[in-house]
A and B are shown apart, each in its own frame.
Chain A
Amino acid sequence: MGNRYRVAVDMGGTFTDFVVVDTDTGKIKIEKVASIPDQLPTQFVKGLNSFDLNPRDVTQIFHGMTVAVNALVQEVGAKVGLITTKGFRDVLEMGRGGRKPVYNFTARGPEPVVARQFRREVDERMTFDGKVLKQLDLEQVDREVDFLVSSGVDAVAITFIHAYANPLHEEQARQQIARRYPDLPVSVSHDIAPEWREYERTSTTVLNAFVKPVVKDYLTGVEQELAKVNYTNSIAVMQSNGGAADLHTASEKPIRTLMSGPAGGVIGAKALCDQLGYQNIICTDVGGTTYDVAIIDDGRVLERSQTEIASRPILASQIDVVSIGAGGGSIAWLDHRNGLQVGPRSAGASPGPVCFGNGGTEPTITDAQLVLGCFDPEYFLGGRMILDLSAAESAIRKKIATPLGISVMEAARGIVSIAETNMANTIRTKTVQRGLDPREFVILAYGGGGGVFACAVAEELQVPTVIVPSSPATFSAWGILAADYVEDRVRTKVQVFDETSASQIQAMLSELTSEAVGAIEEYGFERSDIDLLRRFDLRYRNQEYTISIELAAQWLDSEAMLKNVRADFVESHRKLYGHGSADADIELVSIRCRAVGKIPTPTLTAPEHIESQKIRHRGVYFGSSDKPIQTAVLDRHTIGVDESVAGPAIVEEWTTTTIIKPGWNCRCDEFGNLILTQSPISSGGH
């Protein structure tokens, strides 16, 4: 068996990206195949076969997938039954209430995934501190599962009140069901989301049950197709938390893979910026439909513990990616006030922007950028596509310029500015939430549209530096190769954080540690190769929001733990909120333990450089100037290491375009990344 290649497969809605790293030469190859919904496993192997390599020589395949999230969004999954504590079957349908936006008096929440008749109650009860108040009635469990199975249910979820504090009853119920229906897939709340808040935990467990059969079928299919071409090494599936899991875990807990795709880009951003020496990064991923933002603060990827898909909450550690409807395909339209709006509706890949000539009639950001001269209609996607400039112009004229009484050029500029300021607003809101100042960050811009918007967004936020990595359109796939195996364990138990509870906290911590480490060991890692990350979610007594504090390895004895964790907590609180008492009571809410099985990061290599420099020029409209500026247009491969290009300039490559605005300078670093910096005098935007 060889171990020459590492392969990343990043499946998106339209295309699946493949990145192959030859570890002998460091060379990287890229390919794309269409994502055909009912043939995903065969497309997977087809993409792999398009490279000139023997699958036996591949060490490992890393996979980012959208199967789970698509099943949720399209609501195609199992018929789920729920077993829950007596008195609480309506929790799933009641939700937490509330209505957004508040003025929408006719708003409705989502339908419950499990109808009331399939939400079955059994006698049992735990107290909040994990004591058995009422024994589980196993005969009732039998009766209710019989009912569910006879009603055609093909997956079962179990959620009992306070099961995160003591999973005994859920375990008993699971075993009872397994004895009678060994093939019935069961998802259990303490296993899927062991955190308090019964609605969110129930929702997560039920959704896991809902997507499990779909994901399992898909992953089994991939495994079988790969076996046919004699690939039997491991397949690592990317999870929302930025770490990989094996096929078995991904099939059992598919709810953890929802953000598989966006996570890849952020992990890549971290790997790249670690090597380049940047600590504070705003990651921006621009596709056809969305603008995704994530933050790396002081070398740490910012995470959150809850998200929503189609208004349904999901508890799981995941990279905090915020997404707005602004991408190349986002549609410009006039609202009831005749106000110009851009997105969130997108023309998507089909019909796509008007200029693609596939039947699109509504003007998009890409159409506006074409009109402004950002793209060469004869040389889009490195000449793979010819764009219809006059169709783009007439769509903008008809739908925007004429109704507003402005010129086509003004309308095009307006569409792009509104999109850019919406992007900047998203980053501002995200950083304020975390008490961060965007001016202390660099922007890493990837995805097909990253380089097009980056300078303008950076100017708006006064961010001095932008990095456009090599092959930005497939950067997320490359990022997956940088993922490590990760297992998270969490336990919620609210307790005072002081001497009285220190020994109990340490006992829980070591229990969680051995669970997480054990799971990584099962992937074939030695204990000595496993890194540990321990975190406490803490708050001042009476507060609601917690702050997550990392526990350093040398703080494990109780005195050091109490002292140092408190000091860090107080400091973080002051940074985030401007105040924080040094000696007020602190509460520990959750303990989190992450075990990491390290995999070597792919090394960066210098890009291919083509000497012959043929510079073209074309007129481009920048900022508010009424006249086009003659702008140099370069092919990315012609920019050599350490060469600089002064803006205005446009850098083109197969999958993307980078715009260097006037007042900006662009340098190609030793790994082929474009480093864009703003000249200090320009305050931008006037």
Chain B
Amino acid sequence: MNNTDVVLNEIIRNRFVSIADEMATTLVRTAYNPLLYEVQDFSITVMSPTGDMWSEMPGVMVFSQAFPHAVRQGIKRWGDNLSDGDVLIVNDPFETGTHISDTNVYMPVFHEGELVAFCGSAAHWADVGGKIPGGWCPDTTDTYQEGLCFRHQKLIERGVINEALWDLIDCNVRVPTIVRGDLEAQVAACRQGSIRIRELCEKYGREVVDRAMSAVIEQTHTAMSKAISALPNGTHSASIRMDFDGINRDGDFLVCLKTTIQDDSIRFSLDGTSPVAMGPINLPAPCTKGILASSIKGILMPLDPCNAGHAMCIEYDDLPKDSLVNPSWPAPTDSYGYIVGCLMELTFRCLADVVPDKIPAGCYMLTGAFLGKESDDENESTVVSDALHGGNGALFNDDGVTNQLVGNGDLPNNPVEVLETRHPIRVESLEFATDMAGHGAHRGGFGVRKKVTMLADDFSLNFVIENTKDTSAAGVQGGGDGKPGNLTINPDSNNPIVYRERQGALGPYPKNTVYEVVTGGGGGWGNPYERDTHAVLKDVSNDFLTVEQAAETYGVSLIKKAGTWAIDAQATSLLRAK
């Protein structure tokens, strides 16, 4: 390799990052579906002709880690029969790794007759024709109930639209206009990517581009090897138990993870994980491996643009066959996200003592109240997908934040003023649920408490939550666990009803029904008695803690002087000496 190529490699690498960015921009701005333009439930991936990741733009990080696997299945299916102008579609959960609502649309990119790259997007469709509108089926027992399945059919062949296939999609989804709009957005993103990749090949030559990205991947691999070599060799394990699978209340749903750091590699074993569940919490193998790779990448190289090199030091024992983390067709997978979150948490737990400065304590588990109603005389049909933020884990040197799930990354909440304008609901209050946070020298993030009045009749309500018995929000090094969330119907009435587990369609409720949803808190870090006394004083002044909690949990005694709190140093040292 000519040494000056190090510069060109860098230029080409940056170009691929910006190509993925341009594809994401095209997708978001063209989409019809709020899950894409508001909730960022998508991801872009650019790959080599053999399916190695060159660049990505998440969205949801696990989508792009699993995308190469799906494309390789497409290469296997079509062999030499991929042509310039083809656009393919796949959402078979056992190839894409997630659930059937996430549809991968990708394009082989040709330059001067040669295949030079693949680019595509994975996106959560507004509907895919399963038993429940919009996906999110909490109680399916096989893939067939979850929706229409694609395996690398050509949506467009040599630039010509495959009308029959598009027509078939129209006939099988509940909101064909929106799905078609999203599909067009996904195709537009592919086209944007392919134009830019061809320009790059035109300018530098396709061999140069390919060689540059191979070198970038190798460099990244070397840097990861170095980062892992710096860690002490050793084996760590952790496990977590799921509440239930959506169907079977008697089963045991244990997920086990063992990490072995050996010189410059990390090996994962998931032995001991429970057999495949009847209900849809199963996670297909590509995503099981993908989320573990994403976690390691994020822990060791959080700011690096991602490529295949970040996963090359990672090895896996054979995943236990027909288990929660390696189910086979047609096992249900629609609620795959809970185990994704758990595998991330387990990776953190295994490595918390190894790289404490790079890992948060446990995070709350996805909690949300999804409202829906059919149209009536006064109101149109409406769906309120209010995925709430909650407590993230504390850091070794700082308190945890109240934010989106760690695994979901960049997903904003819904403004109250927008919600009330769009839907017949009123938000009565939105505040920190301070009592949910795990205590510690550094405190976990707070949960969120949101109280909402339904301003129309016949709303039904789905309550989404997991890991309420064996929390995901575990404390670290003596820090307390975050508490799990809950849902209360009519909290201020004489007979409030409290739900602490996942619920399918509750209701329908009459107008003026109030619900209050609380999300879980994050885990704390370190012994609360080691918390800086001034931080405790600030917490009490800000109503994050009561003065009693300050004394009991944190060993800090406060007294009120002229209306403001102050530390009673003597009483505090007595308390803390205990």
Contact = CB atoms under 8 A, between A and B. Distances in A.
A and B together in one complex: yes
A101 B10 contact: no
Contact of A88 (B358, B426, B430, B544): B430
A256 interface: no
A21 B304 CA distance: 49
B298 interface: yes
Interface string A397-435: 000000011100010011001100110010011001100
A406 B401 contact: no
B251 interface: no
B29 A103 contact: no
B417 interface: yes
Contact of B7 (A117, A413, A685): A413
Nearest to B34: A544
A133 to B, nearest CB: 8
A625 interface: no
A90 B30 contact: no
A99 B404 contact: yes
B10 A418 contact: yes
A117 B417 contact: no
Given A97-B413, A99-B404, A339-B13, A410 B4 contact: yes
A684 B299 CA distance: 41
B448 interface: yes
Interface in B1-25: 3-4, 6-7, 9-11, 13-15, 18, 21-22, 25
A304 interface: no
A117 B543 contact: yes
A226 B426 CA distance: 54
Interface stretch (A108-116, A378-386, A442-450, A638-646): A108-116
A150 B431 CA distance: 25
From B184, B404, B416, residue with most partner A Cβ within 10 Å: B416
A104 interface: yes
A272 to B, nearest CB: 29
Interface residues of A, number: 68
A197 B418 contact: yes
Given A97-B404, A103-B298, A340 B10 contact: yes
Contacts of B544: 116
B415 A339 contact: no
Contacts of B29: 433, 545, 576-577
Contacts of B421: 128, 196, 494
B302 A104 contact: yes
A410 B38 CA distance: 45
A577 B303 CA distance: 31
B61 interface: yes
B416 A414 contact: no
Interface stretch (B139-147, B216-224, B495-503): B216-224
Contacts, number: 208
A429 B10 contact: no
B483 interface: no
From B226, B389, B403, B404, residue with most partner A Cβ within 10 Å: B403
User: On chain B, which size bracket covers the interface?
Assistant: 35 or more
A66 B430 CA distance: 36
Nearest to B11: A421
A640 B182 CA distance: 56
A91 interface: yes
A336 B411 contact: no
Contact of B415 (A197, A340, A413, A578): A197
A98 B21 contact: no
A106 interface: yes
Contacts of B226: 336
Contacts of A336: 223, 226-227, 301, 304
Interface in B372-417: 389, 395, 398, 401-404, 406, 409-413, 415-417
Given A89-B431, A106-B358, A197-B418, A94 B10 contact: no
A432 B25 contact: yes
B181 to A, nearest CB: 8
A198 B431 contact: no
A590 to B, nearest CB: 12
B263 interface: no
Contacts of A196: 415, 417-418, 421
Contacts of B10: 339-341, 414, 418
A106 B402 contact: no
B302 A404 contact: no
Contacts of A106: 302, 358-360, 395
A94 B413 contact: yes
From A86, A97, A197, A404, residue with most partner B Cβ within 10 Å: A97
Contacts of B48: none
Contact of A544 (B6, B37, B348, B429): B37
A422 B413 contact: no
Contacts of B297: 103
A94 B188 contact: no
5 contacts: A103-B61, A104-B302, A337-B220, A339-B10, A341-B10
Given A105-B358, A543-B32, 16 more contacts: A86-B429, A88-B416, A96-B415, A98-B411, A103-B409, A105-B406, A106-B360, A117-B541, A117-B543, A128-B420, A161-B417, A338-B219, A414-B10, A544-B37, A577-B188, A578-B30
